[in-house]
């Protein structure tokens, strides 16, 4: 709760600070301080405060606080990158930071809602700033296209979600998750309206997390949006979507998984396979990461299907490992993309990076290995817990996921090959300087990745 208030205020202050376009550092300091305070407040609440609830609307339990702290941490890293990685007009710098922070407020609501109204509001608070952010490069057509596509698809998905919420209300006469759960687990014949409602909510949320067959918007939006916004979408927004997805289905519909689980299982299979197979054929780095992020959504759906053993812990571990690796990858990508004039950058942008900037290349290598799920990196533990808990009930799905993980090595290793094993031409052999902020973010991300692989159990128990 404290964090939500701090963040809302931070957003407002940042907006005002941004009025003076020449004072970028003031904006930066305010946003970073606010996020830092919010992070401290969340961790404080997690360990030293009793769960706090506001009128059956939001409950800040351990689950909400654990996911919230991770989302705030990732946003903080993104904001730290924001001074040199920012691609929009300089007069909008303050707006950019403020919108990121406002969007994060929506994410916090999505981790803590107790009521379908708050789910809906959270999604709107999360999404509306994002529609603006995607189009913040006003003079760049792809950015406009991304914003428009994202807006249409988002509005459409929210409509379906709202329709579903209405039907659920019609069947249960309540928006409260605990009331709905009572109806769902009463053992009586389920009203058809409830079943249809659940499936529509499922579809709405699948749009948000870009699960197949509702994923078509995501590659275009990822590619056209400014790099930092894409990074925010791939990490915090994805985490928020899954946080809400899990919370809703775990608290309300876990007892009647027969209604939604078969659909979701097929969607998981489709999502991971389509994501991986399409990523294989991508030449641009951002598009490759967009499809890889679809594939990761497929693995994460396993966590919603089998939410028994580690609760949300497995989901948290996976999203944390994935988000930190994505931060690493995008930081390095922004670094190498800055010197390329053309907009879509292929894999060859990374050529010779191992010699030009060893730290960045090392961070990128760890990120790719972690996303591919190769032990002992963080991504492996994320995959392990998701797969292990889904193993008893969804054996076939876990086998498909394992085969998919093996396929994903091919495209992740393409980047490693470019960095280390391809001979570099004369132009590309010059050393590359790493700005201090980038260096800090990369080192922090590497340390987090190693910390996860040394003590995965700690993260797992964070939600419990």
Partner 1 sequence: MSLLLIPLLGALLMLAFVRGEAARPLSLLAALANLGLTIGYLFWYNPNNPYLMLADFSWIPQAGIRFKLGVDGTGLAMLLLTNLLTPLIIGSTYSRKLPGVFYGLVLLMQAALVGVFTALDGIVFYVFWELALLPIYFICAVWGGEDRVRITLKFFIYTFIGSLFMLLGLIYLQQHAPGQTFDWADLMKADLTPGASTWVTLAFFLAFAIKMPVFPFHTWQPDTYVNAPTGGAMLLSGIMLKMGIYGVIRWMLPLSDGAAQLYPTFIALAIVGIVYASVIAIRLQDIKRIIAYASIAHVGLIAAGVFVGNETALQGAILQMLNHGINIVGLFFVSDIIENRTKSRQLNELGGIAKQAPVFAALFMIIMLGTVAVPLTNGFAGELLLLKGLYEYHIWAAATAGLTLILCAVYMLRIYQFAMFGPAKALTEGFRDVRGSELIVLGVIAALVIVLGVYPQPVLDLTKAATGLLLEMK
Our finding on whether 457 is near partner 1 (CB under 8 A) is: yes
Q: How far apart are CA 128 and CA 158, in angstroms?
A: 11
Alpha helices in 338-455 (DSSP H): 353-356, 358-372, 378-390, 395-416, 436-454
Under rule CB under 8 A, residue 273 binds partner 1: no
350 in contact with partner 1 (CB under 8 A): no
Interface region with partner 1, contact rule CB under 8 A, candidates 176-184, 234-242, 258-266, 370-378: 370-378
User: Judged by CB under 8 A, does residue 456 bind partner 1?
Assistant: yes
- For partner 1, which residue of 5, 29, 155, 402 counts as binding (CB under 8 A)? 402
Q: Which is nearer to partner 1, 155 or 402 (CB)?
A: 402
Q: Shortest approach of partner 1 to residue 403 CB, angstroms?
A: 8
Least gap, CB of 297 to partner 1 (angstroms): 20
Q: How far is the CB of 308 from partner 1 (least distance, A)?
A: 13
Residue 417 is a binding residue for partner 1 (CB under 8 A):
yes
Minimum Å distance from CB 116 to partner 1? 31
**Cβ 353 to partner 1, closest distance in Å?**
14
Q: DSSP readout, 45-94?
A: HHHHS--EEETTTEEE-HHHHHHHHHHHHHHHHHHHHHHHH--S-GGGHH
Place of tokens 């959270």: 122
User: How is 126-154 classified by DSSP, letter by letter?
Assistant: HHHHHHHHHT--TT-HHHHHHHHHHHHHH
CB contact at 8 A, 110 and 94 = no
| Shortest separation between residue 380's beta carbon and partner 1, angstroms | 8
> How many residues are listed for the chain in this entry?
464
**Is 199 exposed, middle or buried, given 0-12, 13-18 or 19+ CB atoms closer than 10 A?**
middle
Q: How far is the CB of 215 from partner 1 (least distance, A)?
A: 25
Size of the site for partner 1 (CB under 8 A): 30
**Can residue 394 be called a binding residue for partner 1 (CB under 8 A)?**
no
Instruction: Out of 33, 47, 375, 447, point to the residue binding partner 1 (CB under 8 A).
Output: 375
Residue 134: burial class (beta carbons within 10 Å; 0-12, 13-18, 19+): buried
> What part of residues 171-230 is at the interface with partner 1 (CB under 8 A)?
none
Is 98 or 442 the residue whose CB approaches partner 1 more closely? 442
- Binding segment for partner 1 among 55-63, 283-291, 373-381, 432-440 (CB under 8 A)? 373-381
Say which residues have a Cβ less than 8 Å from residue 45's Cβ, sequence separation at least 6.
Answer: 1, 2, 3, 52, 60, 65
Residue 59 makes contact with partner 1 by CB under 8 A? no
Q: Which of 61, 53, 29 is nearest to 250 (CA)?
A: 61
* Least distance to partner 1, CB of residue 313, Å: 7
Residue 308 contacts partner 1 per CB under 8 A: no
Contact in structure between 459 and 379 (CB atoms under 8 Å): no
DSSP assignment, residue 188? S
Near partner 1 by CB under 8 A: residue from 384, 400, 446, 450? 384
Exactly one of 5, 49, 399, 443 binds partner 1 (CB under 8 A); that residue is 399
Q: Does 460 engage in binding with partner 1 (CB under 8 A)?
A: yes
Question: Using the rule CB under 8 A, is 380 a contact of partner 1?
Answer: yes
How many Cβ atoms are within 10 Å of 33's Cβ, its own excluded?
Answer: 13
Contact status: 117 vs partner 1 (CB under 8 A): no
Asked if 443 is part of the footprint of partner 1 (rule: CB under 8 A), the reply reads no
User: Does residue number 450 form part of the binding site for partner 1 (CB under 8 A)?
Assistant: no
* Binding piece for partner 1, criterion CB under 8 A, among 49-57, 79-87, 367-375, 440-448: 367-375
- With CB under 8 A as the contact rule, the residue among 132, 374, 400, 444 that binds partner 1 is 374
Residue 85 in the binding site for partner 1 (CB under 8 A): no
The Cα 210–Cα 24 span in angstroms is: 34
Q: Is 462 in the site for partner 1 (CB under 8 A)?
A: no
CA quadruple 326, 34, 438, 16: dihedral sign: positive
Cα–Cα distance, 406 to 401 (Å, whole number): 9
Burial of 55 (0-12, 13-18, 19+ CB in 10 A): exposed
Q: Which two tokens stand for residue 18?
A: 């941004």
Residue 262 in the binding site for partner 1 (CB under 8 A): no
Among 313, 352, 379, 382, binds partner 1 (CB under 8 A): 313
d(CA 196, CA 193): 5
Contact 280, 211 (CB under 8 A): no
Question: Nearer Cβ to partner 1, position 27 or 295?
Answer: 295
How far apart CA 217 and CA 156 sit, in angstroms, is 12
E strand residue ranges, 317-381: none
Which of 420, 424, 432, 444 is close enough to bind partner 1 by CB under 8 A? 420
398 lies in the binding site for partner 1 (CB under 8 A):
yes
What residues line the site for partner 1 (CB under 8 A)?
310, 313, 369, 374-376, 380, 384-385, 387-388, 391-392, 398-399, 402-403, 405-406, 409-410, 413, 417, 420-422, 456-457, 460-461
């Amino acid at each position: 709760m404290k964090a939500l208030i701090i963040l809302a205020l931070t957003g407002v202050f940042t907006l005002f600070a941004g009025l003076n376009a020449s004072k970028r550092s003031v904006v930066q300091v305010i946003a970073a301080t606010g996020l830092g305070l919010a992070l401290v407040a969340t961790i404080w609440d997690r360990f030293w405060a009793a769960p706090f609830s506001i009128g059956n609307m939001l409950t800040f339990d351990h689950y909400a606080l654990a996911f919230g702290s991770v989302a705030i941490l990732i946003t903080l890293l993104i904001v730290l990158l924001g001074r040199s990685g920012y691609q929009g007009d300089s007069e909008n710098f303050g707006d950019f930071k403020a919108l990121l922070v406002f969007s994060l407020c929506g994410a916090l609501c999505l981790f803590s809602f107790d009521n379908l109204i708050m789910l809906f509001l959270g999604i709107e608070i999360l999404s509306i700033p994002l529609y603006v952010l995607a189009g913040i490069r006003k003079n760049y057509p792809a950015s406009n296209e991304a914003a428009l596509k994202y807006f249409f698809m988002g509005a459409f998905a929210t409509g379906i979600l709202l329709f579903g919420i209405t039907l659920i209300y019609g069947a249960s006469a309540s928006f409260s998750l605990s009331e709905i759960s009572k109806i769902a687990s009463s053992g009586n014949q389920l009203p058809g309206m409830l079943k249809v409602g659940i499936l529509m909510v499922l579809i709405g949320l699948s749009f948000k997390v870009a699960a197949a067959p509702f994923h078509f918007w995501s590659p275009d939006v990822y590619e056209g949006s400014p790099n930092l916004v894409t990074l925010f979408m791939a990490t915090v927004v994805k985490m928020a979507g899954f946080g809400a997805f899990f919370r809703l289905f775990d608290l309300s519909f876990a007892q009647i998984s027969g209604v939604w689980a078969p659909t979701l299982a097929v969607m998981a299979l489709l999502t991971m396979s389509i994501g991986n197979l399409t990523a294989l054929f991508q030449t641009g780095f951002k598009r490759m990461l967009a499809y890889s992020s679809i594939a990761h959504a497929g693995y994460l759906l396993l966590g919603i299907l089998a939410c028994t053993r580690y609760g949300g812990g497995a989901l948290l571990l996976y999203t944390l490992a994935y988000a930190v690796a994505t931060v690493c990858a995008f930081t390095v990508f922004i670094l190498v993309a800055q010197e390329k004039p053309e907009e879509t950058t292929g894999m060859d942008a990374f050529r010779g990076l191992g010699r030009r900037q060893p730290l960045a290349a090392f961070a990128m290598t760890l990120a790719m290995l972690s996303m591919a799920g190769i032990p002992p990196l963080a991504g492996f533990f994320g995959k392990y817990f998701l797969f292990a808990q889904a193993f008893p009930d969804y054996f076939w799905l876990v086998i498909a996921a394992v085969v998919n993980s093996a396929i994903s090595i091919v495209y992740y290793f393409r980047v490693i090959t470019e960095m280390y094993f391809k001979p570099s031409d004369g132009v590309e052999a010059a050393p590359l300087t790493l700005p201090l902020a980038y260096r800090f973010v990369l080192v922090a991300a590497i340390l987090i990745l190693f910390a996860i692989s040394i003590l995965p159990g700690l993260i797992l128990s964070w939600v419990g």
